[in-house]
Chains A and B, each alone.
Chain A
Amino acid sequence: MEIILILGIPLLGGLLLAVFGGHRWAPELNVVMSLGTFVASAWLTARIIANGPITAYNEQFFIDPFNVFLVTLTAFVALTTALFSSPYMHNEAAHGKLSAGRLRLYHSMYQLFTFTMLLALTTNNMGILWVAMEAATLTTVMLVSLYRTPASLEAAWKYFILCGVGIAQALFGTILLYFAAEKVLGAGGTALLWTHLNVVKAQLEPTVLSLAFVFLLVGYGTKVGLAPLHNWLPDAHAEGPTPISAVLSGLLLNVALYAVVRSKVLVDGALGTHFAGNLLMGFGLLSLVLAAFFLSRQKDIKRLFAYSSIEHMGIITFAFGMGGSVATFAALLHMTMHSLTKSAIFFAVGHAAQKSGTQMMENIRGLIKTNPTIGWGLALGSLAILGMPPFGVFASEFMIITTAMHEHAWATPFILVALGVAFAAIFSKVQTMVFGETELPRLPHPPALVPVFVHLALVLMLGLYIPPYLADWYRQAAAMIG
C-alpha cells in the first residue's frame, strides 16, 4: 500500500504538473506532491522498522534496510529541494529567464524524476532497475538544457549520449546476469528478481557473472560519475538549474551507486573472491584522486562542487569496495552525509549565483556582508563537506580511513593526499567568496535557506549522535552487503 503511494504520488504529480505546471502556484503544488511522497516514505519506513524486510505485488517490489533508508533520504531531499525550488523558480520566472511552458516542463519532470529514482530503489527486478535508471536520465536531460543556452545544450547532449552509451553497457550486463540466472532459476519472471538471485547466488556461473559485473559497473558507474567516465557530470551540474544540480548530486548518484552495490552482492556470492571489491576500490580511488586535483582548476562554482561530488562518490565506492561491516557502515553513512550536505551547498550556491548574476567564482565576493545567511550557509556547508568535525562527514571519513589503514595500507596515502588537496582547493575558493569585499547589492528577494540549515543541522546531529534505530539500520544493511 505504501509502495503504491510512494510511486503513485510523484507519478500523479508529474501528470498534474504537466497540465498546471505553468501556473503561479505550480511551485507550491510541486512542494505538496513532494511532501506527500515524503510522508508515504516515512510511513513505509516505520513499517519496515517494525516488521523487517517485505516483498510486495508478486515480489516485484522488495524493501529491506538498505533501500528503505535510501527511499527516505530520496523523498526527504526531494521535498527540501522542492521547498528551495519554489522561490528560486518564482525569481527565475520574474526575471523572464523561463517561460510558462518551460516551468511546466521543469515541474512535471521534477516529479517524474523523483518517481524514476524511487522506482529504481524499490523494485526487486534487475531489469526494471535498468529501465528506471534509463528513465531517470531521460527525465533530467531536458532539465539540464532548460535555459537553452549553447553551453546548456552541449552539456545536455553530452549527458544524454554518455549516459545513454553507459547505460547500454549496463543493459548488456543485465542480459548476462539473466543468462546466468536462467540456468538456475528457469526462464521467465523470477530469474531477474533480486531476492531470488540472492538465494541462489552461489550457484550462478562465475565467469558469466564476473563479465556481467564489469558491464554493470561501467554502465551504472557512468551515472555514479566514476572516473574516467565522469565527463558528463560537471557540465550537467553546472549548466542545469540549481535545484536540478542539487538532486542530481544528492540523489541520482546515490541511486546509481545503489544499483552497483546490489549487483556486487550477487557477484560476490557467485565468485567467492574479492574481484568486485577490487574493481570498486580501483575505480573509487581513481575518481577520488582525479577529482581532487581537478578541483583547484575550477572557475565556475557549480563545477567546483560537481567535482567535489565525484570525489565523494569515489570515497564511497572505495569504502564499498573494501567491504566488511565497518567500511560498509561508513559508506552508507557517507552516502547520507554527502547527499544532505551537497544539496545544502547547492541551495546556498544557487542563491549566491542568483545574487551575483554569475557562476564565476571570481565575481562572487563578500557574501557574508550583504547576505549573511547565504554566506554562513555556504561556509558551513563547505566546512561540512570538507570533513571538519563535528559534522557527520568527519565521522564517516574517519571510519573509512582507519579501515583503509588496517586493511589496505597502500591506499591511505592516496586518500589523505586527495582529501588534503580537496581541502585546500575548496577552502581557499569559498573563503574569498564568503568574506572579501563587494559592492554588489543584497539579494532582492528573501532567500529560501531553511532547507540549507535543516540539512546542515541534520549533518551536525549525525556527527555527534546517531540515533540507535538509524545505527541499527545501517548495521543491518551493512551485514546484507557484506
Chain B
Amino acid sequence: MAFSQQLINLFAALLLLIAFAMLSQRRILSLINLFALQGLMLSVSTAIVAWSSHQHHLYYSAALTLIVKVVALPWLLHRLIRKLDLKWDVETIINIPSTMLVGLALVVFAFNLALPISQLAGTITRSTLGIALASVLLSFLMMITRRQAVPQVIGFLAMENGLFFAATSATYGMPLVVELGIALDVLVGSFIFGIFFFHIRDTFDSLDIKNMENLKEN
C-alpha cells in the first residue's frame, strides 16, 4: 500500500472521528471548532489526492475548501453566535450515548452500501467511499437529534463536507465549474441561514426549534 494512500486513509479516519465528536459535542462553540477542523482534514486529504494522482484541478478544490470551510464559514458562525449571544449548551432530543450507538449502526450500514461501489473504483482512494457515506449519514443524524437552529445548520454544513469527500475519494473531484457552483450555493446558503437566525430570534426570542412546531396537520 502506497504511502499516500495510507495518509489519505488516515485523514479519512480522522474525518469520521470528528463526525462522531460532533455528534457527542454539546457546546456550540466547540461544535464550530470541530467543524473547522473537519474542513481542514478535508482540505488536506484533497491536497494529498491531488499530489499523488497529479490531478491539478484538485489543488483548487483544496484551496476552495480551505477558504470556505475552514476560514470563512467558521468565522461567520463565530461572529453570529457572538452577536446572538448564544452561550448555552445544546439540548439533544435523544441522549448522547444512544445517539452514538445509532451512529455506529449507521457506519456499518454505510460501509455495506458502499462495498460494491468501492470494488469498482479505480482511484487510489477507493476504500474511503464508505467513510464518506458514513459521515454524511452521521451529520444527518446530528441534524435530526438537535433542537436548536445553529447545530442543525452545522450538521447541514458537515453533511456537505461528507459529500465533498465522497466526490474526491470516489472520482477525483467533480468538474471545476460544478465545484465552484456548489461552493457558491453553500456560501449563499450560509448567509441566508445567518439572516434566518436573526429573524427567528427576533420573532421567537430564542433559537429553539421547538417553538417552530405549530404547523401540523390537525
Residues on A lying within 8 angstroms of B by beta carbon are: 125, 127-128, 130-131, 134-135, 138, 141-142, 145, 148-151, 153-158, 160-161, 164-165, 168, 171-172, 174-176, 178-179, 182-183, 187-189, 191-192, 205, 207-208, 211, 235, 239, 294, 297, 299
Contacts and interface: CB of A to CB of B under 8 A. Distances in A.
Interface in B147-195: 149, 152, 156, 159-160, 163, 166-167, 170-172, 174-175, 177-178, 181-182, 184-185, 188-189, 192-193, 195
Given A131-B181, A154-B214, A155-B215, A178 B174 contact: yes
Given A131-B181, A145-B199, A150-B214, A175 B166 contact: yes
Contacts of A156: 196
A127 B215 contact: no
A371 B65 CA distance: 57
Given A156-B196, A179-B117, A131 B204 contact: no
B196 A138 contact: no
Contacts, number: 130
B214 A131 contact: no
For the complex of A and B, the 8 pairs showing the least CB-CB separation, nearest first, are: A127-B178, A131-B181, A154-B212, A134-B185, A179-B170, A179-B171, A235-B215, A175-B167
A125 B178 contact: yes
A119 to B, nearest CB: 10
18 contacts: A125-B177, A125-B178, A127-B178, A134-B185, A135-B188, A149-B203, A150-B214, A153-B200, A154-B213, A155-B215, A160-B193, A165-B159, A168-B160, A172-B166, A175-B171, A207-B120, A294-B217, A297-B218
B196 A171 contact: no
A207 B117 contact: yes
Contact of A172 (B121, B136, B192): B136
B2 to A, nearest CB: 20
Contact of B136 (A168, A174, A188, A294): A168
Interface string B6-29: 000000000000000000000000
Contacts of A165: 140, 143, 156, 159
Contacts of B195: 142
B142 to A, nearest CB: 11
A208 B117 contact: yes
Contacts of B204: 150, 153
Main secondary structure of the interface of A (DSSP, over half): helix
B97 interface: no
Nearest to A236: B215
Contacts of B120: 183, 205, 207-208
A353 to B, nearest CB: 17
A191 B212 contact: no
Nearest to A157: B212
Contacts of A155: 215
Nearest to A167: B185
B215 A154 contact: yes
Nearest to A180: B120
A128 B178 contact: yes
B178 A192 contact: yes
Given A168-B163, A207-B116, A297 B174 contact: no
Given A148-B199, A161-B156, A172 B178 contact: no
A427 B172 CA distance: 55
Interface of B: 55, 113, 116-117, 120-122, 133, 136, 140, 143, 149, 152, 156, 159-160, 163, 166-167, 170-172, 174-175, 177-178, 181-182, 184-185, 188-189, 192-193, 195-196, 199-200, 203-204, 209, 211-215, 217-218
User: B113, B160, B185, B212: which has the most chain A beta carbons within 10 Å?
Assistant: B185
B1 to A, nearest CB: 22
A128 B177 contact: yes
Nearest to B117: A208
Nearest to A239: B215
A125 B178 CA distance: 8
Contacts of A192: 174-175, 178
Given A164-B189, A178-B167, A179-B171, 4 more contacts: A125-B177, A127-B174, A142-B192, A172-B133
A297 B215 contact: no
A211 B117 CA distance: 9
B157 to A, nearest CB: 10
Contacts of B156: 161, 164-165, 168
Given A148-B203, A208-B117, A183 B174 contact: no
Nearest to A137: B189
A183 B143 contact: no
A297 B214 contact: no
A320 to B, nearest CB: 26
A153 B203 CA distance: 8
Contacts of B181: 127-128, 130-131
A179 B163 CA distance: 13
Contacts of B172: 182, 187
A176 B185 CA distance: 20
Contacts of B189: 134, 138, 164
Given A168-B159, A235-B215, A131 B166 contact: no
Contact of B192 (A127, A138, A175): A138
B170 A138 contact: no
Contacts of B212: 150, 153-154, 157-158
B205 to A, nearest CB: 11
A155 B203 CA distance: 13
